[in-house]
Structure 1
C-alpha cells in the first residue's frame, strides 16, 4: 500500500500529525502497536492544550471521555511547606489528569474520521525506497508499506531515527518508578483535584488521583544511584515513600495500598541531534523528550505533532525552509525547557551534597551530554 505519509507511532504526536495531514487531503497510514502504552502514570494535560484539541477537532471527544479535572499543582520544593499553584488564572480553565490509553485511542479515532488509515501492527524494518520509504510489519496478511514521507512518532525509542543512525543527546540520567495504589475499604474518600510534588534527598516524588480511582505515585531519581536499585522492589519503593511527608500523609489518609511491584520507565531529558532529514521528520518524544517535572510531555507531543504536519504540508507546497524552520522551532522549545529546568532545580538547596542534587545544581548542568544508551 502506498501512502503520501506513513507515521510510525500512534500516541498524541502521531495522531495529531495524522489528523491534520488527512484533513489536508493526503493519504496517511498511522502504524501503532495495539495495547502498548509507554507511560501509564499520572500524566497530566495543561489547560493550554485546549486550543490544540479544538484545532484537531478533538475537543468534543475529549470532553466526553471524562478525564479527571486538575485545578493546579501543590509542591513541597525548596521547603518542607506546601505551596499551591492554581490554574485559576489560566485563560483556558482547568487542566486534567488523563486516562492515557483512552486519550490516545480517542485521538486515533478522530484521526481516522479525518481520513487516516489506522494500522495496528508492529514495525519490523524501515528502509529507503526509490519512491521514498519501504516499511515492513509483523502482519503476515499485509504487504510492505510504502510512503513518500515518514514521520517518527515512536516515542523515546525513536525507531526511525535510530534506524537512520541519528544520535540522541541525553542531558541527565533520570529514571521513573511508578506504583499504583488502591484505597482501603471504609477509608475516607479521596477527592483531591491537584498534582502533588515533593522533593527528597534522593530525587523527587509525584502523585495524582487517576480517572480510574487509583492513585499513582512516581519516584524520580538517577539510574546509577543506590535509590534506583531500592525503588525497583515493592519493599524498597514503600521505604522510599516513608522519607516523604506529604505524599506519605496523602496515602495514609485514604488507607492506600500498593498494588503490585513498581514499574520503571526512562525519564531522561534529551533530543535528537537532527529531527529532520530528506523525506522524514520526528515529532513528540522521538524528537525531544522532557523531564516529567515540566509536565510538558503530552502538551509538547500535541504541539510538535501539529507543527510537524504543517512542515510537511509546507514542504509539499514548495517551501525550501519548511524542514529547517521546524528544526529551529524544536531547538527553541527544547532550549527554553532546559533553561526553565535549571532554574527550577536550583530552587531546591536543602541537599547540596546529595548526588542527585549535585548533578543539577552545578554550573554545567545545562550543558551536560551523557552518552547515548
Structure 2
C-alpha cells in the first residue's frame, strides 16, 4: 500500500471539519476526508481530489470536475438538492469565530439573512415575541446552508488543506504514536499524529474506536421545505409546543419555508405525519403557525426524518483514547434543536481543537492539553443540559402528556413523572 504522512487528518467536511481545516491548513499538512461525493453546481471545479491524495508540496493536485445539475443556477459546490440541510441559523455570537477563521467578510457577502424576531407559544397564555436586536451579540443569521458549507470547504482549501471526497469506507487505527486511516478501495494509508472525528451525529471514527456514545433522547425531527410563496414575507422564527412534541418554522434565504416537528421515535403518530397533508393539518392547529403556512400545495414535497435528540461521547473513554484524537461538532456533542446552538458549537469546538493542536506543536504535553479540551467540552455539555432541562420543564398546559412528562422524569432521574396520556 502507498503511505502518505500528514500533520492532521480530519474526517468529515461539514462545518466543524472544514472550519478546523481552515484554521490548521495555513501552517500544517492537513488532509480533509469526506465520505460522500461532493457535487458541483454550474460545472465549477471543486479544488479537491477524488479518491487519492498526497501531502507532497511538489505534487500536482488534480482538480475534480463534476457534471452540473440540470437547471442549476448556483456556481458553488453543494450537497445534493434532494437532501435538504437542517441547521438554518447562527447566533450573533458567531461573528467573533468567523473573524478568527478569516471568513467574516465572505460570510456577510454571501446572502445569509439577518434573523428577525422569535415568536414563541411555549407556556400558557399568549405567544411571546423576542426581538434579537436586544441581544448584545446582534440578531444572528438564517443560513443558506449549502452555500455556508461550500464556503467553509473552499476556505479550508484556500488555507492549504487537501480535500478528498468520495472516499467510501475507511479504517482507523493507532500504533507507535501515529494515527492511521486505511482506505482499502485505493490501497492507500494516510498517517498523522492528529486524527479528528468530524463526521456528525454518526461519530463514525469514535464508534469504530469503540468509544461509547450516550443517546439521551430518541427525538425525531420531521421536516419539510415548503416552496416559496409570494405572499410569505414573514421573517420571524416561530416556535410552539404541542401535546406530543414541538414545532418550529422559518423562511430561509432561498425563499422556502422550513416546517419541522419534533416528537418521540416511538410516537404512534410518527408514521402518519410522514405525509405532508397530515403534517400541515396538525401544524395549522397552532396559532403561531396557521397564518404562515400555505392552504394548499401544487407540488409534491417530501417529509424527511432525522434523529435530533441530545447525544454525547463518553468523556472518560475519550480521555483514555490514544493521544491526538479529537471529536468535534455533533460527533462529540449533539444538541437538541431547541437549543439553536448546533452550528455555533460546530465552529466553537473546531476553534477549541485548533488551539489545543497548536499548543501541542510548541511542545506542550499532548495529554495535558487534550484533557483541557475535554474539560471545556464537558463544561459546555453541563451548561447546555441545565438550559435544556429548564426548557423541557414546561409547558404547563401539556404537563400530563407523555412527551413532556418523560423528559421531566429523565432530567430528575426518576420515572415518577411519566404519564400514560397521549
- In structure 1, distance between residues paired with 2:412 and 2:343: 23
State the match for 1:371 in structure 2.
none
Q: Greater RCO between the two (CA within 8 Å, min separation 6)?
A: 1
- In structure 2, distance between residues paired with 1:102 and 1:301: 16
- In structure 2, distance between residues paired with 1:366 and 1:60: 45
Give the gaps of 5 or more residues in structure 1: 369-373
- In structure 1, distance between residues paired with 2:143 and 2:125: 28
State the match for 1:264 in structure 2.
305
**1:330 paired to 2:332:** no
State the match for 1:20 in structure 2.
23
Deviation at 1:68, TM superposition (A): 1.7
SS in 2 for 1:302: helix
Change (3 A) 1:257 1:52: farther
Change (3 A) 1:287 1:330: same
The 5 A counterparts of 1:298-317 are: 298-317=343-362
Deviation at 1:195, TM superposition (A): 1.0
The answer to which structure has the higher strand fraction is 1
- Equivalent of 1:182 in 227, 243, 257: 227
- Equivalent of 1:195 in 214, 218, 237: 237
Change (3 A) 1:273 1:282: same
Superposition CA RMSD, Å: 2.2
**1:135 paired to 2:177:** no
- In structure 1, distance between residues paired with 2:9 and 2:234: 41
- In structure 2, distance between residues paired with 1:71 and 1:367: 37
Contact persistence 1:122–1:138 (CA under 8 A): no
The 5 A counterparts of 1:51-62 are: 51-62=96-107
State the match for 1:74 in structure 2.
119
Contact persistence 1:4–1:26 (CA under 8 A): yes
Query: More deviation in 243-252 or 2-11?
Result: 243-252
**1:49 paired to 2:49:** no
Change (3 A) 1:257 1:354: farther
State the match for 2:258 in structure 1.
216
Deviation at 1:20, TM superposition (A): 1.4
**TM-score with structure 1 length normalisation?**
0.90
- In structure 2, distance between residues paired with 1:289 and 1:159: 14
SS in 2 for 1:216: strand
- In structure 1, distance between residues paired with 2:397 and 2:412: 20
State the match for 2:418 in structure 1.
none
- In structure 2, distance between residues paired with 1:22 and 1:183: 39
- In structure 2, distance between residues paired with 1:212 and 1:130: 47
Give the gaps of 5 or more residues in structure 2: 40-78, 415-422
Change (3 A) 1:91 1:257: farther
Query: More deviation in 270-279 or 11-20?
Result: 270-279
- In structure 1, distance between residues paired with 2:340 and 2:172: 34
Contact persistence 1:179–1:259 (CA under 8 A): no
Change (3 A) 1:109 1:122: same
Change (3 A) 1:183 1:116: closer
Query: More deviation in 152-161 or 117-126?
Result: 117-126
Provide Cα deviations, 1:69-128, integer angstroms capped at 9, x if missing partner.
213321111135221111112233221111111101101111111111111123412232
Instruction: Specify the structure having the higher radius of gyration (Cα).
Output: 2
State the match for 1:84 in structure 2.
129
SS in 2 for 1:226: coil
SS in 2 for 1:135: strand
Deviation at 1:176, TM superposition (A): 0.2
State the match for 2:246 in structure 1.
204
Deviation at 1:240, TM superposition (A): 2.3
